[in-house]
Amino acid sequence: MNKSVLSQVVVCLAMVMLFSTVAAAQTSKIPPTLSGKAREYFVDAQQGDEYAQLALAVCYQNGDCAPQDGNQAVYWYQKAAEKGNVIAQYNLGDIYDEGIIVPQNFELAAFWYEKAAMQGDALAQCGLGSCYFNGEGMKQDYKKAFTWFEKAANQGHAVGQRCLAICYDEGKGVKKNAKKAVEWYQKAAEQGDVIAQYNLGISYKEGQGVKKNLNKAAEWLGKAAAQGDEDAKAELQNFNR
């Protein structure tokens, strides 16, 4: 074997050994608390794969193949979110909004909701709309709340439809319009939104934005009551007296 061929073989062997060493090092870094798919996600997440980072964050959030750890969940969600992953952005917003596995932080919730909302995510649009509506994490602004609810509603999102109806019902961010409120309550109620079902029932009961119809009122209040809504149950008891 001549020198040039021998040197190429040596280089190839060196590269194989190097890759083997790197792979072993990566494997050795896997936290022993991880099991199953979470171990695979960890290796790919360390390499910068946003989908693996997202999956690993979910594992840490739910305690699936990993110990439930809010800090680790946020760490990996943020890695994916910074790459523009819309699911990670929304989940970060939701985690900070709810304050379940990390301390509640409305400013960070609004920040990440907005990132996802700007990408067209209906859930995030509802979340951002709620931040504006309630003045949580930002200055209260009913007009901006209405705008974001409308975007979500136009995508067929039930919560967005219900929130848009409330804006019309209460005249917040838009001129009060009981008829429009009923239209949007109806859309959300038909998708099973319990609050919309209750509000639609009350609209029929009181004749607000729609012709008074006690049968329709009882129908929609009954649907809400069947989902456990206590106010709807109380209203139905009044019907039966």
- Residue 24 pLDDT level (bands cut at 50, 70, 90): very low
Torsion angle (degrees, nearest 10) of CA 31, 32, 33, 35: 100
What pLDDT was estimated at residue 6? 44
What pLDDT was estimated at residue 23? 44
The answer to whether residue 5 scores a pLDDT higher than 80 is no
Residue 59 CB burial class (10 angstroms; 0-12, 13-18, ≥19)? buried
Compute the distance between CA of residue 239 and CA of residue 241 in angstroms, rounded to an integer. 6
Q: Mean pLDDT over all residues of the chain?
A: 90
pLDDT tens, position by position, 157-200: 999 999 999 999 999 999 999 999 999 999 999 999 999 999 99
Q: Which two tokens stand for residue 6?
A: 């021998």
pLDDT tens, position by position, 79-97: 999 999 999 999 999 999 9
Residue 30 CB burial class (10 angstroms; 0-12, 13-18, ≥19)? middle
Q: Which two tokens stand for residue 168?
A: 């019309």
Q: What is the reported pTM?
A: 0.83
In eight-state DSSP terms, residue 226 is H
The rounded percent of the chain whose pLDDT value lies above 70 is 88
